[in-house]
């Protein structure tokens, strides 16, 4: 801006700019031009001078005793530098397991240690047993094929319920009956009494199919060791810079300041890139032993067997209601499949997280969750988009639809009768959460109107003319986001006129830079286009909670606001010196420090420029506007909403298509509605994938049957309908922005709405439940079974 521009005109231009990028504006993501033109920098794009390449040798048996690993021939192959087995990695600790719920008797769950490379037994197809390091990737691959494994195969078990049966193959001597955890929440006697006095009880066996995460960017890591400083640097895509730095330091037995973690662009994670993995240990060991950088990059085949997978629960849901359809209690019991090893967060998914989210938006006075967590000969499970939140909402919404049919109550009416009302806020739930805000009945009404539910009968008739079945499904949801913690809030004014935000959440595809800049611009009035975001280097981010649990905007948003308050306080003191006034007379608004009652002022960017150009300040004054502090983050928030899906089914083939989809959501204040809608769209498509097609399958020997996209069905563009999104915001009262998380809500509303729609479409045959995924074969079979049992011959 021209320095000669009159102050009044300058203020008008500043206000226009601040409004354009204000909180609530749909500002395009600032990183997109780089990403869509192929200029992103992912881990595999990192190439360090002199680097070698690591390739993993994996077990082809799901279960077996390791009798020997012959690496002699591999070591003689061209270009081979080293071959490591478990014997070479004895100085490393087992991979970390963070979430460790207690058994129902209060005893700790059993967590068998997972070394980076298997030494005594292999426990799933893909279990790493050796690492080959060579000059090139092709040389390493050739040598990996020359490693000879002598493994005595053992019987395998891949199903959680089957793993609990007498005589099932045992994975560990230290884990009797393969049961790592026997979890229980709630008062069983009170719940039992509620069911005994209930006028009606609905029971439903509900499965939650196992899915592959399928992030766009496969996992990769590049490690470098500096012998002089004893310091490791590792590049890899993850969800937490400082958290992974700390866990790696503990794993390899060094102080945290001896580890530097760098994550550039991360091509998706959905929970999968949160935990530590064996490959990272191998490259860290390799770089230290060899004195040169070591790189490992997975391929898609390796990802299918080595990346953590999601879901895989086998539950019985029960809902007790009085004669008027009021909920008395809900009970969920069953099994969760952990895979062969504990994931970092896996034990909390079907246990604590499910407890928090089963309550949903309903006034349910009692609940009980009983889950047996089983180890099986499968790839390990960890968090996957929602991590218990979609599951809890799916269980209760399917039970409500079933209960409505059984009791002859309209499905919408049954939900409304049991909604928690705004006048009851704050509301303490049976899961011990404290809801601070929400207007669930009004939101439901909004959703019914937005979805044009009244017009559904006509759309169903039109579908029937085409020989199709049409169904409508409602998916109400409420999520409990991640709890309070600590987060870095940093604001730095740079010499080049830019402003850097430093905060410890991490963007792995969500678009943090834009809404964070909107928040900072609103607080300090700094130009939006001048703001940069630093989240990717642990040397810059010493503390941070990472991203997960739909908390980033709450955590980093509040940290940015708290840091801005401190910037303003420092700025008032410095501006008072520059303007020759008392600090108590300085006011701040719209990016300018002004002497109260006068037109004498200085802009915050101008003040920062003066500091960089050598402004001399008394030693008792702040010498910079910069702030870098750790702040407390807000408690959990409770995003909620209602999704309405419509499907068409061809009764002759079982093919199901989502033909109409709308949702109304309460995410509180939406800092950037465009990014919010994008997050919802992504979650809904993932829900459609799980509901209709995605399924990880193993045979009786533990061999993966769906290990490529030829066999594992991923949703494509043709499977995604136009997704209409509207807001029904009730701002949160527990954080200064009034925001609620949105990143996982698409899955939470998508699973129940799509599956309720499928069952609704099939209801004229008398079908009352279909398990996920509702594949054409499964839907076709349900129609044939219904016809065999007296259902209509044709739709």
pLDDT digits (tens, 9 = 90+) for 30-41: 999 999 999 999
Per-residue b/e over 326-358, b at no fewer than 16 CB within 10 Å? Answer: bbbbbbbebbbbbbbbbbbbbbbbbbbbbbbbb
Average pLDDT of span 17-46: 90
- Output the pLDDT for position 5: 45
pLDDT band at 2 (very low <50, low <70, confident <90, very high): very low
379-406 tens-digit pLDDT: 999 999 999 999 999 999 999 999 999 9
Average pLDDT over residues 304-325: 97
> Please, is 224 exposed, middle or buried when counting C-beta atoms within 10 Å of its C-beta (0-12, 13-18, 19+)?
buried
pLDDT confidence of residue 205: 97
Question: Which among 210, 381, 237 has a CA at the least distance from the CA of 298?
Answer: 237
- Give dist(CA 556, CA 534) in Å, integer: 12
DSSP lists the bridge partners of residue 222 as 235, 295
Q: Say whether pLDDT at 487 is over 50.
A: yes
Q: What is the pTM of this model?
A: 0.94
Q: Does the structure show a pLDDT above 90 at 529?
A: yes
Write the DSSP symbol of residue 4: T
Residue 674: CB atoms within 10 A of its CB come to: 16
- Give the CA count within 13 Å in the CB-facing half-sphere of 21: 28
The whole-number pLDDT of residue 792 equals: 67
- For 635-659, how does the pLDDT look when each residue is reduced to its tens digit (9 = 90+)? 999 999 999 999 999 999 999 999 9
Calculate the CA 368 to chain-centre distance: 25
Q: Name the token pair of 143.
A: 């040598």
CB of 782 within 8 A of CB of 763?
Answer: no
The answer to whether residue 14 scores a pLDDT higher than 80 is no
| Residue 347's pLDDT band (cuts 50, 70, 90) | confident
- Tens of pLDDT, residue by residue over 397-437, are 999 999 999 999 999 999 999 999 999 999 999 999 999 99
The reported pLDDT for the residue numbered 790 is 75
**Separation of alpha carbons 335 and 313, rounded Å:** 6
Q: At 277, which helix (H) or strand (E)?
A: none
Q: What is the pLDDT of residue 501?
A: 98
Are 644 and 447 in contact, with CB atoms under 8 Å apart? yes
Read off the tokens for 64. Answer: 């077996």
């Amino acid at each position: 801006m021209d320095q000669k521009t009159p102050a009044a005109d300058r203020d008008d231009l500043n206000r226009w700019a601040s409004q354009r990028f204000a909180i609530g504006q749909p500002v395009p993501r600032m990183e997109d031009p780089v990403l869509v033109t192929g200029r992103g920098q992912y881990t595999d794009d990192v190439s360090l001078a002199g680097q070698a390449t690591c390739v993993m040798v994996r077990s082809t048996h799901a279960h077996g005793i390791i009798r020997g690993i012959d690496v002699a021939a591999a070591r003689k192959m061209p270009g081979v530098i080293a071959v490591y087995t478990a014997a070479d990695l004895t100085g490393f600790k087992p991979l970390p397991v963070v979430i460790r719920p207690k058994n129902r008797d209060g005893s700790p769950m059993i967590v068998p240690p997972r070394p980076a490379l298997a030494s005594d037994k292999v426990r799933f197809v893909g279990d790493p047993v050796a690492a080959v390091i060579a000059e090139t990737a092709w040389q390493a691959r050739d040598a990996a094929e020359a490693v000879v494994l002598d493994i005595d195969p053992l019987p395998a078990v891949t199903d959680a319920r089957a793993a609990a049966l007498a005589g099932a193959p045992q994975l560990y001597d230290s884990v009797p009956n393969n049961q790592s955890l026997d979890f229980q929440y709630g008062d069983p006697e009170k719940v039992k009494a509620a069911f005994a006095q209930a006028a009606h009880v609905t029971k439903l066996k509900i499965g939650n199919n196992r899915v592959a995460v399928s992030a766009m960017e496969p996992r990769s890591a590049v490690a470098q060791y500096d012998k002089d400083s004893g310091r490791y640097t590792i590049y890899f895509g993850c969800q937490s810079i400082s958290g992974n730095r700390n866990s790696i330091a503990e794993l390899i037995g060094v102080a945290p300041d001896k580890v530097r973690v760098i994550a550039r662009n991360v091509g998706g994670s959905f929970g999968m890139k949160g935990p530590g993995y064996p490959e990272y240990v191998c490259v860290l060991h390799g770089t230290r032993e060899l004195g040169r950088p070591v790189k490992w990059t997975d391929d898609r085949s390796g990802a299918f067997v080595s990346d953590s997978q999601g879901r895989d629960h086998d539950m019985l849901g029960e809902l007790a209601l009085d004669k008027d359809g009021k909920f008395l209690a809900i009970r969920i019991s069953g099994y969760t499949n952990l895979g062969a090893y504990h994931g970092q967060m896996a034990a909390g998914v079907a246990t604590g997280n499910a407890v928090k989210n089963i309550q949903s938006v309903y006034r349910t006075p009692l609940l009980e969750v009983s889950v047996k967590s089983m180890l099986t000969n499968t790839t390990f499970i960890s968090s996957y988009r929602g991590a218990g939140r979609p599951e809890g909402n799916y269980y209760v919404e399917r039970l409500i639809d079933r209960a409505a049919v059984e009791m002859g109550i309209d499905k919408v009416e049954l939900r409304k009768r049991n909604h928690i009302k705004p006048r009851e806020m704050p509301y303490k739930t049976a899961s011990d959460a404290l809801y601070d805000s929400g207007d669930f009945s009004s939101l439901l009404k909004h959703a019914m109107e937005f979805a044009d539910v009244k017009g559904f009968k006509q759309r169903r008739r039109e579908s029937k003319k085409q020989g199709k079945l049409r169904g409508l499904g409602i998916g109400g949801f409420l999520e409990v986001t991640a709890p309070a913690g600590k987060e870095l809030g940093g604001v730095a004014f740079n010499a080049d006129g830019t402003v850097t935000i430093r905060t410890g959440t991490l963007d792995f595809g969500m678009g943090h830079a834009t809404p964070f800049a909107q928040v900072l611009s609103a607080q300090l009035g700094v130009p939006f286009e001048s703001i940069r975001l630093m989240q990717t280097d642990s040397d810059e981010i010493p503390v941070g909670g990472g991203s997960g649990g739909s908390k980033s905007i709450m955590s980093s948003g509040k940290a940015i606001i708290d840091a801005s308050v401190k910037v303003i306080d420092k700025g008032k003191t410095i501006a008072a010196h520059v303007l020759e006034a008392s600090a108590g007379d300085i006011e701040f608004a719209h990016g300018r420090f002004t002497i109260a009652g006068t037109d004498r002022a200085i802009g915050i960017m101008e003040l920062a420029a003066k500091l960089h150009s050598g402004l001399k300040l008394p030693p008792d004054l702040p010498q910079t506007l910069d702030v870098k502090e750790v702040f407390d983050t807000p408690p959990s928030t409770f995003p909620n909403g209602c999704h309405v899906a419509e499907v068409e089914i061809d009764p002759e083939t079982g093919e199901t298509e989502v033909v109409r989809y709308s949702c109304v959501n309460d995410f509180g204040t939406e800092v950037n509605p465009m990014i919010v809608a994008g997050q919802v769209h992504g979650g809904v498509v993932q829900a459609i994938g799980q509901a209709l097609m995605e399924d990880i399958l193993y045979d009786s020997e533990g061999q993966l049957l769906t290990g490529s996209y030829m066999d594992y069905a991923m949703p494509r563009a043709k499977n995604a309908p136009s997704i209409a999104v509207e807001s029904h915001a009730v701002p949160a009262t527990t954080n200064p922005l009034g925001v609620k998380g949105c990143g996982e809500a698409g899955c939470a509303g998508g699973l129940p709405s799509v599956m309720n729609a499928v069952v609704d479409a099939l209801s004229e045959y008398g079908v009352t439940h279909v398990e996920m995924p509702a594949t054409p074969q499964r839907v076709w079979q349900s129609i044939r079974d219904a016809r065999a049992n007296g259902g209509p011959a044709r739709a």
